[in-house]
Copies of this chain bind each other. A is one copy, B any other.
Amino acid sequence: MNPTKLNWRVVLVRPRNPLNIGAAARSLANFGLKEMAVVAPFEPTWKEARTSAVGAGTVMAHARSVPDLIDAIGDSTVVIGTTTGARRKLDRDLLPLPELAAELRRRRARGSAALLFGSEKTGLGNDDLSHCHLLVRIPTSSDCPSMNLGQAVAVCVYELERAGLVEAKKTPNSTSRRLEIATAQSLEHLFERAEHVLEMSGYLQPLSREAMLLKLRQHLLDLKLSSRGARILGGVLAQVEWKLQNPSPANC
């Protein structure tokens, strides 16, 4: 079977311990991954992180710190969240990590993939999870489900490499391929437009608003839009938005 190869980026969302940032970078370098982004409310202490990033100079040099998750995953075509599933009730399927490769092949995933890890203390939040096409779970014991962040990253990137999912280098036609699938950034624009339309139409109720928006984003991901599909849907929403803002005089 032709293996699914993707350009991977590991995204650490609000990590607390700079040593874990460095340890994560080291395991990326161990398994041939190059891109790491850190979503943090403040610039991470890269100096401290570097002490544990032995041999991962290139990864650290190119690591980015961004204020929001969307900045880290904007150009990704598939976003995968990691979770123990222990802390909150999820109404979504958790894919065991060893089955990730088969699932990505089934979905014919291609382009750029982002793999998200939450903070040591709380994991990924509901808003982070709503950006994810897939949720994976490292099959840890129920007696001790929560892994050290650096070790969790190492296990995941080992599995990516083991399953032949790591693109050695960008393919020559990666740009044209990327155009085919809607990126997380373009879907986020679509989502914001849809939110605005629902807002203006009076659909969103104060009490259920937040949960409703998380579900909306999830449904949008489930559509698996092409970038052309995203442009068309964006056009439709823009038209509806315009009409809502410029209503025809009643009964004309």
> Which residues on A are within 8 Å of B, measured CB to CB?
23, 26-27, 29-32, 52, 54-56, 98, 138-141, 143-148, 150-152, 154-155, 158-159, 161-162
Copies of this protein in the complex? 2
Docked CA distance A158–B140 (Å): 8
* Beta-carbon contact of B162 and A26 below 8 Å: no
- Closest CB pairs A-B (n = 9): A151-B154, A29-B144, A55-B144, A30-B140, A32-B141, A155-B158, A98-B162, A30-B147, A30-B144
Q: What's the minimum C-beta distance from A43 to chain B, rounded to whole angstroms?
A: 24
Docked CA distance A148–B162 (Å): 18
Residues of B near A26 (CB, < 8 A) are 144, 147-148, 151
Docked CA distance A143–B152 (Å): 21
Residues of B near A141 (CB, < 8 A) are 29-32
User: Looking across the interface, which residue of chain B has its beta carbon closest to that of A33?
Assistant: B141
Contact check: which of B30, B138, B148 meets A145 at CB < 8 Å? B30
Residues of B near A23 (CB, < 8 A) are 148, 150-151
Q: What's the minimum C-beta distance from A144 to chain B, rounded to whole angstroms?
A: 4
User: Looking across the interface, which residue of chain B has its beta carbon closest to that of A96?
Assistant: B162
Docked CA distance A102–B56 (Å): 32
Residues of B near A138 (CB, < 8 A) are 30, 158
Docked CA distance A54–B141 (Å): 14
Docked CA distance A152–B32 (Å): 15
Q: List 21 A-B contacts (CB under 8 A).
A: A23-B150, A26-B144, A27-B151, A29-B141, A30-B138, A30-B146, A30-B147, A30-B151, A31-B141, A32-B143, A54-B146, A55-B144, A56-B144, A98-B162, A139-B161, A139-B162, A147-B154, A151-B151, A151-B154, A155-B158, A158-B158
User: Looking across the interface, which residue of chain B has its beta carbon closest to that of A25?
Assistant: B144
**Of A55, A144, A146, A147, most B-chain CB atoms within 10 Å:** A144
Residues of B near A52 (CB, < 8 A) are 148
Residues of B near A161 (CB, < 8 A) are 139
